[in-house]
Chain A
Amino acid sequence: MEPALAWIVLGLPLLGAATLAAWPTEPPRSMTRVLGVGPIALGFLLSAWLYVQMLGESSDDRLVVSRVWEWIEIGDLTIDVALQIDPLSVMMMLIITGVGSLIFLYSTEYMEHDRDYRRFFAEMGFFVFSMLLLVLAANFLFLIVGWALVGLASYLLIGFYYEKPPAVAAAKKAFIINVIGDIAMVIGAFILIVELGTLDYALVFEAAPDGLSRGAVEAVTILLFVGAAAKSAQVPLHTWLPDAMEGPTPVSALIHAATMVTAGVYLVVRTHELYELAPFASDLVAITGAVTLFLAATIAMVQVDVKRVLAWSTVSQIGYMIMAAGLGAYGAAMFHLMTHAFFKALLFLSIGIVIHGLAGEQSLDRMGGLGRHLKLAYVATAIGVLAISGVPGTSGFFSKDEILASAWDAGDLGRALWVVGALAAGITAFYMFRLLLRTFYGPEPGGGYGVHPHRSRWPMTVPVAVLAVLSLFGGWIQVPSGWSWITDWLEPVIGPESIPGQQAEGVTLVASIAVVAIGAGVAWWIFAADPGRRSRLAGRFAATRRLLEDGYRFDPVYQQALVQPSRDLGDYLYGRFEPDFIQGMLKGAVSLVRGGAIALRAAQDGLVRTYAFVMVAGVVSLGALLAWVVTR
């Protein structure tokens, strides 16, 4: 196995991005396209080759740590610049570069009319580099570095249209929440250094069972999870993701669906040996995932902006992955990570075709009946909807059912969370079919379309088609009671994993088919069967609807409880405390000295007589003193 391949895959996107960024003028479009898409596509081929090489190795040899230089030696701690190449990182590499290449290709057409074409591809290339660094890092320090750089890339891309204040605000929010996650992970790293003296994955996992007290390992895992929650938009650190839709659609597809937001899941799976020592933290992870998946699904039901529907659905689906990871079903979590990458990217890209075709329209209220005009988008979106809803046979069906089945087998907590997950699956089907029907089915909006929805060309249609095929058939690599390529492939990293039992699979199968049918049915009944029914029902449940539209009011609470008080404190310090106390302290000292000086000045009245008198008085007293001393 050739570790250099991993370094090349890592370095190419950075090289491409740097070249694009440093070019003195706006380069010709063809050059930007080559330097943008080329490194990622090449990266995918090299990753695939690496994968093939790994297949040839025996299971034990599939873990390689490749060090290049000693980054720092401080106190007793040594940290190297090193990559860890194992089944988990290679799987992530394939997903990142694979789905990435398709999205990059799509972007060459989607962003065609944008003035900042070069900047887009430079920033996207930087993102891919950072994400690869994150998954390939061999120690916690470079994990954190990759983590932060990915946050930076996300900030840049969310704020791509930086002249628009909403995009600027969304970017800031994403960055700040990311920093909170970074800080939590850094504190976790402190604990590891102080207790174990190392940050290398291999050494940490080896030393942890004996070296970390129960309290310490719970603390580390919870802190790492805070980071994961921030990055993967889990409650309560989820508020940035819907706002992140301000970025261009390909950004939403790549970063906020397929890759960056899954970093949290990757983290839990990567550090699972620590989570296995921390049952409380694992339960916390699972519960957080469940709460998130449910809350987000309910919010998605009422969203009107198509991208926001998809954003909230992403939050919800990642909740499933997090829940699975919390319950110990790492293989299931990674499986869903992969299938979700396929169908979520598919959904974003095909909705992107709609948005592109309607010259920027994103509201469901102004859509309808597009199936007639944008057939490819209709079919692709439909496939995506089927997959995400978990219709039997699709990729999402296999992965989601495996998560639920694993939950069923995971004790009392697992069973309770199974109920949550199953219910949410029904809600998922409902809102996704709502999206599909309101966009493509039924009557066109009153007045028809001002712009004739224009078709898209091959750089946009081919990736969509590929993703559609993957979303449909990609799930067959892991079939219950059949074979499990993913779990087997990941075994060197995650250890032997118990496969859900027959009962779990059976119950889940029945339940999932039932809830999907109900959810899709209700959606059909409201949105398709009778065109007027939607508006008639819209008036009901207004208060609940508003609560859901406001996302359960997390944002105002944060603003009032955290942001505004801090701002007020800062204003108070700047406006009153500093001038009154700090500078006042100095002014007080000055007045004291000045007052003393003025008092003393009274003796200097300028008259010779006074001075003479004082001299005489002084001499007399000294003389008396001297006489008194001498005569004693």
Chain B
Amino acid sequence: MSGVPLIWYLLLSFGLFGLGLLGVMRRRNPLLMLLAVELMLNSANIALVGFARHWDNTDGQIFALVVMAVAAAEVVIGLGLVVAVFRQRLALNVDEMSSLKG
């Protein structure tokens, strides 16, 4: 089996991570921010799997499964919050959700 070199996994991971980060920082729609957070989490998964393959150790893959579970839980809560806020205010713009301003 020809191996894909590790560096490609990492480059993909960093790239996806950067895209996700940009998304979180720039998007105003909370749903899209959540999407971007998912992207960041999955990019971490890719890196984990890559390393698992490189060191021939399944720990990384197992940890990726854990991350996926956490991501799922977090998305549920996040979507619940977004729906609750939407019901109150009909806005989907994080710039307007600033009542926790100090």
Interface residues of A (CB under 8 A from B): 600-609, 612-613, 616
A609 to B24, CA, bound (A): 8
- In the assembled complex, how far is the CB of residue B82 from the closest CB belonging to chain A, in whole angstroms? 12
B102 at the interface (CB under 8 A from A): yes
Which residues of B are found within 8 Å of A603, using beta-carbon distances? Answer: 102
Which residues of B are found within 8 Å of A600, using beta-carbon distances? Answer: 102
Contact A608 B33 (CB under 8 A): yes
B11 at the interface (CB under 8 A from A): no
Contact B25 A613 (CB under 8 A): yes
Contacting residue for A608 out of B21, B97, B99, CB 8 A: B97
Contacting residue for B24 out of A605, A606, A607, A612, CB 8 A: A612
A145 to B33, CA, bound (A): 88
19 more CB-based (< 8 A) A-B contacts, given A606-B101, A608-B94: A601-B102, A603-B102, A604-B101, A605-B98, A605-B102, A606-B97, A606-B98, A606-B99, A606-B100, A607-B94, A607-B95, A607-B98, A608-B33, A609-B25, A609-B28, A612-B24, A612-B25, A613-B25, A616-B25
Which residues of A are found within 8 Å of B33, using beta-carbon distances? Answer: 608
Looking at B26, B28, B33, B100, the one whose CB has the most chain A CB atoms below 10 A away is B100
Looking at A607, A613, A616, the one whose CB has the most chain B CB atoms below 10 A away is A607
- In the assembled complex, how far is the CB of residue A615 from the closest CB belonging to chain B, in whole angstroms? 10
Which residues of B are found within 8 Å of A613, using beta-carbon distances? Answer: 25
- In the assembled complex, how far is the CB of residue B70 from the closest CB belonging to chain A, in whole angstroms? 18
Instruction: Name the CB-closest residue of A to B98.
Output: A606
Q: Can you list the 7 inter-chain pairs with the closest CB atoms, starting with the nearest?
A: A604-B102, A606-B98, A606-B101, A601-B102, A608-B94, A606-B100, A612-B24
A607 to B101, CA, bound (A): 8
Query: Hey, what's the 0/1 contact readout for B81-102 against A, CB within 8 Å counting as 1?
Result: 0000000000000110111111
12 of the cross-chain contacts (CB-CB < 8 Å) are A602-B102, A604-B100, A604-B101, A606-B99, A606-B102, A607-B95, A607-B98, A608-B94, A612-B24, A612-B25, A616-B21, A616-B25
A519 to B26, CA, bound (A): 116
Instruction: Name the CB-closest residue of B to A600.
Output: B102
- In the assembled complex, how far is the CB of residue B84 from the closest CB belonging to chain A, in whole angstroms? 16
Instruction: Name the CB-closest residue of A to B30.
Output: A608
Which residues of A are found within 8 Å of B95, using beta-carbon distances? Answer: 607, 609
Instruction: Name the CB-closest residue of A to B37.
Output: A612
Instruction: Name the CB-closest residue of A to B21.
Output: A616
Contacting residue for B94 out of A602, A604, A609, CB 8 A: A609
Which residues of A are found within 8 Å of B25, using beta-carbon distances? Answer: 609, 612-613, 616
Which residues of B are found within 8 Å of A616, using beta-carbon distances? Answer: 21, 25
Which residues of A are found within 8 Å of B98, using beta-carbon distances? Answer: 605-607
- In the assembled complex, how far is the CB of residue A600 from the closest CB belonging to chain B, in whole angstroms? 8
A608 to B26, CA, bound (A): 10
- In the assembled complex, how far is the CB of residue A593 from the closest CB belonging to chain B, in whole angstroms? 15
- In the assembled complex, how far is the CB of residue A99 from the closest CB belonging to chain B, in whole angstroms? 85
A603 to B102, CA, bound (A): 8
A601 to B100, CA, bound (A): 11
Instruction: Name the CB-closest residue of B to A598.
Output: B102
A609 to B98, CA, bound (A): 11
- Which residues B1-49 have CB closer than 8 A to chain A? 21, 24-26, 28, 33
A257 to B58, CA, bound (A): 115
Instruction: Name the CB-closest residue of A to B102.
Output: A604
Which residues of B are found within 8 Å of A608, using beta-carbon distances? Answer: 33, 94, 97
Which residues of B are found within 8 Å of A604, using beta-carbon distances? Answer: 100-102
- In the assembled complex, how far is the CB of residue B50 from the closest CB belonging to chain A, in whole angstroms? 20
Which residues of A are found within 8 Å of B24, using beta-carbon distances? Answer: 612
- In the assembled complex, how far is the CB of residue B102 from the closest CB belonging to chain A, in whole angstroms? 3
- In the assembled complex, how far is the CB of residue B94 from the closest CB belonging to chain A, in whole angstroms? 5
A612 to B97, CA, bound (A): 14
Which residues of A are found within 8 Å of B102, using beta-carbon distances? Answer: 600-606
